[in-house]
Structure 1
Amino acid sequence: MAVEDERSSQDGGEALRVRLITIDEDTADQRIDNYLLRVLKGVPKTRIYRIVRKGEVRVNKKRITADYRLQPGDVVRIPPVRVAEANAPARPADSVIAQLEKAVLYEDDQLLIINKPSGLAVHGGSGLSYGAIEALRQLRPENRTLELVHRLDRDTSGCLVIAKRRSMLRHLHNQLQQKGKVEKLYHALVVGKWPARKQLVNAPLLKNVLQSGERMVRVHVDGKKSRTAFRVLDRFPNMTLVEAYPITGRTHQIRVHCLHAGHAIAGDEKYGMDEDNQSQRQFGLKRLFLHAASIQFELPDGRLLKVEAPLPDELLEVLSVLKGE
């Protein structure tokens, strides 16, 4: 990304600059609004949409709309904007930074894969000042284009893929859109005896947003087609450890499909029964027992990459208690 020209103006004693930025291959194929949100960190979203709507942002000297997709070679004019008007992003706690430093499972010049801890959202928003991606950007300031490839629920731990380059982000998004190209495997401890013959849950899922802003998902005939394959890994008194393979990728898919099958995931405070969650505390479970155990996909050069995330210690301890060790 090359800055071709800058022109200064004065605003309240501060020198502000018009920036002319040439879009390269790595930056291309994203919407202009998303690009500006990243480049103008700290500027309110409403302000960004306003300068686009008023024509202050131009591409190749022409007005554009917020959904315009950038192309290689485009020259973007970014007007003077006082970033100082917005609050500076919150700095993640040192303990979170330390956790993420130890959580790296795989890294090269285009990819970063971490074993995301439970309780950490993948991004800030909805009352959260930061998430994993904001913390990683502060941990790796030299990687200016870190972007989430996919998401995990806040309470789910395990493999989380972050792209360092736009080209890799586009490649992996293309893989995710093709059936069977990306294989994600999860481990879940569920309530009751999961039948060995129950190997597929095929139930459409409908997403609702409550007045509080909370997202809830339920099985409904008007929902999107959703399928999850299951395999029993181990059995305990009134509990079963299963492997879940989401064939489709819907919000809360594994959690709601487990519930639909009659076996809610242990520690699920959103979809499980309060009395079950309370009783599970006796063997030390204090979180959702859902873990993204592995992910496999094809790299741009055709090689398959498979990365595995070991179960966190707190979940291993729960299994030890259940086994009577």
Structure 2
Amino acid sequence: MSDIRTQVQLVDVDADMAGQRIDNFLRARLKSVPKSVVYRILRKGEVRVNKKRVKAEYKIAAGDVVRIPPVTISESATKTEHVSAKLNKVAELEHCVLYEDDHLLVLNKPSGTAVHGGSGLKFGVIEALRALRPQARFLELVHRIDRDTSGILLVAKKRSALRHLQAQFREKTVHKYYYALVMGVWKKSCHTIKAPLLKNDVNSIVRVNPNGKASETRFKVLESFEEATLLQTSPITGRTHQIRVHTQYAGHPIAWDDRYGDPRFDAYTGKLGLNRLFLHAAHIRFTHPGTGDIMEIEAPMDRMLKQVIQKLRAQAS
């Protein structure tokens, strides 16, 4: 199998590209090129900014002209990207777009799809979107949700939008809530759980631990059934698996949670047709990074989740 040699690129840096390190800029432009190659062409002075050599930590500015030298890309890497764009699961993401403009894209991510590749996965949402839209100059995740969680995911289409939206998440001005079906009858008086969470770096399991990071989740009962409760839940902090661990800590694990769930509840909801984690990012409110308008977006639950709720209601009637 032959390799592919790229052409020299001359890139005019605009205001949206400005401020990032040259190594990160190159890695975003040369997605199929190993990281080691990117740093090698920098060390050898093959990358030039305004006809001068630069180091990896150089921050590009508006008006700079970046020369990217020819690099070799394996044909298998380019073929993987080309073929992946045709896969049904990847192509279906186009039908999951809830909102899109020049600054951002809002996706109703399906359950079972990771937000990015890794841990043996070649493609996640962000890689799939890049394969579907090879002409896009910039596509980056603003935040993350778990692979088995469905619902709202923000993707920035400009670096300035990414910085603006991530600042809103840090400052906790983004408001979002999830739907979760939990085991048993949740007490309506339980509105908030504040319990520190500690992540095990070996197996990524999260537990309530006094040595962990401060974590807060708020809850509202939407519907109570004989053996289950539908909750609206809002994470105030953004810890890994936060909602899943806090509901387990309260004695009401989420249906079909393979890490923190209860097999008895899974068996019960399985008879209702459920075979995925019942956690769905349903609503988000944030400030648009370009216009300053307040955006409120809702993502409908998929057919399976809706049918499970309908069957629970039928049992209760």
TM-score by length of 1: 0.87
Shift of 1:279: 3.2
Residues 1:205 and 2:194 aligned together: no
In 2, the alpha carbon distance for the partners of 1:193 and 1:28 equals 52
Shift of 1:93: 5.1
Which runs of structure 2 are paired with 1:205-244 in the superposition (5 Å)?
205-210=197-202, 214-244=203-233
Question: More deviation in 197-206 or 97-106?
Answer: 97-106
The answer for unaligned runs of 5 or more in structure 2 is none
Aligned in 2, Cα 1:233/1:14: closer, same or farther, shift over 3 Å? closer
The answer for unaligned runs of 5 or more in structure 1 is 1-11
Q: Aligned to 2:145, what secondary structure does the other structure show?
A: coil
Shift of 1:53: 4.8
Question: More deviation in 149-158 or 200-209?
Answer: 200-209
Deviations 1:173-194 (A, max 9, x none): 1111112x11111000011111
Residues 1:141 and 2:134 aligned together: yes
Residues 1:256 and 2:256 aligned together: no
Q: Aligned to 2:178, what secondary structure does the other structure show?
A: strand
Shift of 1:50: 3.8
Aligned in 2, Cα 1:196/1:14: closer, same or farther, shift over 3 Å? closer
Question: Are the counterparts in 1 of residues 3 and 72 from structure 2 also a CA contact under 8 Å?
Answer: no
Q: Aligned to 1:29, what secondary structure does the other structure show?
A: coil
Q: 1:184 aligns with which of 163, 170, 176?
A: 176
RMSD: 2.3
In structure 2, what is the equivalent of residue 163 of structure 1?
156
Shift of 1:35: 2.1
Question: More deviation in 236-245 or 69-78?
Answer: 69-78
In structure 2, what is the equivalent of residue 109 of structure 1?
102
Q: Which runs of 4+ in 1 moved over 4 A?
A: 12-18, 53-56
In 2, the alpha carbon distance for the partners of 1:232 and 1:127 equals 38
Give the letter for the 1:125 counterpart. G
In structure 2, what is the equivalent of residue 314 of structure 1?
304
In 1, the alpha carbon distance for the partners of 2:299 and 2:206 equals 27
TM-score by length of 2: 0.89
Q: Aligned to 1:173, what secondary structure does the other structure show?
A: helix
In structure 1, what is the equivalent of residue 55 of structure 2?
64
Aligned in 2, Cα 1:13/1:238: closer, same or farther, shift over 3 Å? closer
In 1, the alpha carbon distance for the partners of 2:250 and 2:228 equals 14
Give the letter for the 2:55 counterpart. I
Aligned in 2, Cα 1:220/1:314: closer, same or farther, shift over 3 Å? same
In 2, the alpha carbon distance for the partners of 1:203 and 1:71 equals 44
Aligned in 2, Cα 1:268/1:35: closer, same or farther, shift over 3 Å? same
Residues 1:276 and 2:265 aligned together: yes
In structure 1, what is the equivalent of residue 292 of structure 2?
302
Aligned in 2, Cα 1:48/1:285: closer, same or farther, shift over 3 Å? same
Shift of 1:31: 3.6
User: Percent sequence identity over matched residues?
Assistant: 52
